[in-house]
Amino acid sequence: MTGLVPYEQLATGDPLARALRVAGLDRLATVMSLGAVIAVTAVLLVFQLGQPRILYAMARDGLLPPAFGRVHGRFRTPALGTILTGTFVGLMPTFITQDQALELTNIGTLFAFLLVALGVIALRVRDPDRPRPFRCPGYPVTPVLACVACVALMAGLPATNWWRFAVWLAVGLVIYARYGAKRSKLAQVNLVESSPSSQRHPE
């Protein structure tokens, strides 16, 4: 694309189609635009299917109310999570622009990757004997480089995006602190293991 058009002109929603039109390939640009619409729709559909199931798994682990863990009697899908996710995604374009949505997606994805890389390091230190069917290649260099790359990319995002991300993260932490931290299955297991009755030894 940069061989057809100066890169400054590619900051659009359809850079490939724009480059093809500048080259005089209007029909091919139309085909590519149609393909882009189909691809974006498919990706959004996958997200729409995936997010309710994430909420379902979190509810199953006690991090969200049980209502998110119930499945529809007929369709056998997490109905509440599906409805709320669809409503949220449908309403958000009313309040944020396309650029803001892309920036939030970028910082959210990078932060998730950062947590995964940190989690690899933390588990190796705190639970070195855990069974690992898959081991991170090049440890500890690989997760450290992943952390550095994620932080560097996040640092290049606008300050306003950081504020939006901070608010969104704060909402999640409040939900976890007020509900999930006490009701999660892991917390219940730790509570049972730390109770005096579980620490008594048979005589």
- Give the pLDDT of residue 202: 53
Please tell me the distance from the alpha carbon of residue 158 to that of residue 177, in angstroms, as a whole number.
Answer: 28
pLDDT digits (tens, 9 = 90+) for 146-200: 999 999 999 999 999 999 999 999 999 999 998 888 888 877 776 666 666 555 5
Please tell me the distance from the alpha carbon of residue 47 to that of residue 44, in angstroms, as a whole number.
Answer: 5
**pTM for this predicted structure:** 0.71
pLDDT digits (tens, 9 = 90+) for 128-153: 888 888 888 888 899 999 999 999 99
Please tell me the distance from the alpha carbon of residue 77 to that of residue 69, in angstroms, as a whole number.
Answer: 10
Please tell me the distance from the alpha carbon of residue 115 to that of residue 130, in angstroms, as a whole number.
Answer: 19
Give the orientation angle of helix 26-60 with respect to helix 15-22, to 10 degrees. Answer: 170
Amino acid identity of residue 31, one-letter, is: V
Displacement of CA 169 from its chain's centroid (Å):
12
Token pair belonging to 163: 């504020």
pLDDT digits (tens, 9 = 90+) for 3-44: 877 878 777 777 888 888 888 888 888 888 888 889 888 888
**Cα–Cα nearest to 36, from 12, 14, 20, 19:** 14
pLDDT digits (tens, 9 = 90+) for 48-58: 888 899 999 99
Among all chains, which residue has been given the structure tokens 């944020």?
96
pLDDT digits (tens, 9 = 90+) for 107-132: 999 999 999 999 999 999 988 888 88
